């Protein structure tokens, strides 16, 4: 029989269990195979496909000893069956993962160096809609909390200069400061029980046009004025 193509779906019968996967044999052609990425070591033996079970699997290639390498997870088999071009789709996904890993490494290198704050200040000072500003907001979202807290005022500033509020909201929510359409929400406390520091709010006389956004950025324990009708009760905590 011809060599099974990579990412083709084949049918195999389980011939044994192995610490690294399942041993199998193709029902058509009889090639010996190994089904990889089956967590044999994490699952009770009676939860694994029994010897003699017939399973669909995806061809990945061959092992060093010449056996077919198969992937038998149902979700992966379903993906390959549904994709118009499985090889192209999985290659694109691999590139996305590689780019994400490279991004994470680059962020680590920047944040662990002495110039992270200077670079972010420069990027946040770029015109609204510029790629540099977008990169800065994304990087800040993934930055250490201590670094983010130093940029709350800068985030409020860029929010008044044409930057979509959702982009700023993502960064603020990552340090438990929230903006929620006319109300503020309590964020989770830090592990030691202390709330995140309050952000600075410009005085009323100096508020920019988007003052509503500034007034809605609160720390989890920020106080609000008493409700109408509760004048004698004093300030109460925000829900």
**What is the pTM for the complete model shown?**
0.59
Percent of the chain with pLDDT over 70: 69
Digit-coded pLDDT (tens) for 107-139: 999 999 999 999 999 999 888 888 898 899 999
Judge whether residue 53 has pLDDT over 90.
yes
- Report the pLDDT value the prediction gives residue 160, as an integer from 0 to 100: 79
What pLDDT is stored for residue 45 in this prediction?
53
Measured from the Cβ of residue 159, the count of other Cβ atoms closer than 10 Å reads 22
Q: Is the confidence at residue 225, as pLDDT, over 60?
A: no
Rounded Cα distance, 178 and 155, in Å: 13
Task: Give the 3-state secondary structure percentages of the chain, helix then strand then coil, rounded to 5.
Answer: 40, 20, 45
CA distance 79 to 160: 44
176 vs 24: CA distance, rounded Å: 51
What number is the average pLDDT over the span 138-165? 85
Nearest to 157 by CA among 102, 118, 213: 213
Instruction: Please tell me which residue, 17 or 202, carries the higher pLDDT value.
Output: 17
Write down the pLDDT at residue 233: 40
């Amino acid at each position: 029989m011809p060599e099974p193509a990579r990412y083709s779906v084949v049918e195999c019968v389980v011939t044994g269990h192995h610490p690294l996967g399942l041993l199998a044999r193709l029902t058509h052609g009889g090639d010996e195979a190994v089904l990889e990425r089956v967590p044999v070591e994490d699952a009770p033996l009676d939860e694994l496909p029994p010897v003699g079970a017939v399973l669909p699997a995806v061809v990945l290639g061959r092992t060093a000893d010449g056996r077919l390498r198969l992937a038998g997870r149902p979700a992966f088999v379903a993906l390959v069956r549904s994709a118009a071009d499985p090889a192209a789709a999985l290659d694109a996904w691999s590139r996305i993962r590689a780019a994400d890993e490279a991004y994470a490494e680059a962020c680590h290198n920047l944040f662990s160096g002495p110039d992270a704050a200077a670079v972010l200040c420069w990027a946040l000072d770029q015109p609204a809609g510029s790629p540099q500003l977008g990169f800065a907001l994304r990087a800040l979202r993934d930055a250490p909390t201590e670094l983010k807290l130093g940029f709350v005022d800068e985030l409020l500033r860029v929010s008044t200069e044409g930057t979509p509020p959702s982009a700023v909201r993502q960064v603020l929510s990552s340090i438990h400061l929230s903006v929620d359409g006319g109300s503020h929400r309590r964020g989770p406390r830090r592990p030691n029980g202390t709330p995140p520091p309050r952000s600075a709010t410009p005085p009323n006389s100096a508020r920019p046009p988007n003052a509503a956004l500034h007034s809605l950025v609160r720390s989890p324990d920020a106080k609000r004025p008493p409700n109408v009708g509760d004048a004698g009760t004093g300030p109460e905590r925000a829900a």
